[in-house]
Amino acid sequence: MGRAVRFARRTALVTGAGSGIGRACARRLAAEGATVTVADIDPAAAAETAELIVKEGGAARPVTGDVSVEDDVRAMVETAAGDGGRLDVLHSNAAVLSREVYGRDLDLTEMDVEVWDRTLAVDLRGAMLCVKHAVPRMGAGAAIVNTTSVSALVGDTDHAAYGAAKAALISFTRYVATMYGRRGIRCNAVAPALVLTEAARRAMTPERLAEKAAERLLPDPCEPEDVAALVAFLASSEARCITGQTIVIDGGTLAHRPEHAIRQAREAG
């Protein structure tokens, strides 16, 4: 049985679509009929995703920009809306995960303020700017999906800037849903835990992967395509009664007491 075509004659903008979750979401939306604008700060990565979609029989065009810069976001939305001036799906997925920023988001007492500011500028202000320029192009039935994180829902010993930005994004999602719901525009968020993107596979040691496996209730880790399936559902008319929600996709990582994972690890060891 073939995949449903839920986005025929619809336009979509996916930010941070040059790799990982964003690339998988762009491919999924295109596979279901959307004309997808692939936005990324890396022009080569954006072009690669767009080319991949076209090779798969979909419609896509790359655009380069920084979501923290308003003129760049305005250009992204204008490209995505095209001649018809309409945008049906916005997936705000861009986040700063570079070694220079995310890799320095460590002890707060030693953090450079620039790390905090850059994280919030991309991860939070970027989503706001996308909404600011996308909503005027949207009509009833349009959908916005933000990528937050389980880091927004728990504490940790590092990445406080990232966690704070993602937590604010959950609240922002509710506000957008409330502001524009009467216009028929929905806004939801997805909150992944570890997703085995290519970058994650390169970065994670076998020991770290084993630790993450011990945290989960389910045996298999999430892949980018799992998040893409959830994003596509939330963006589709099948989710027409869902708005203002954050859906956790984590293999059950946050669904149990920590003692459960500790006990499992001991029994396995």
Residue 153 and residue 24: Cα distance in Å, rounded? 24
CA dist 216 → 94, 164, 262 (Å): 25, 23, 11
Tell me whether residue 162 is one of the annotated catalytic residues.
yes
Residue 235 and residue 241: Cα distance in Å, rounded? 11
Residue 141's contacts (CB-CB under 8 Å, 6 or more residues apart) are: 88, 184, 237, 240
From 102, 162, 175, 180, active-site residue = 162
CA dist 148 → 80, 191, 235 (Å): 22, 5, 16
Instruction: Count CB atoms within 10 A of the CB of residue 3.
Output: 10
The H or E element spanning position 246 is: strand 246-249
Give the active site residues.
Answer: 162
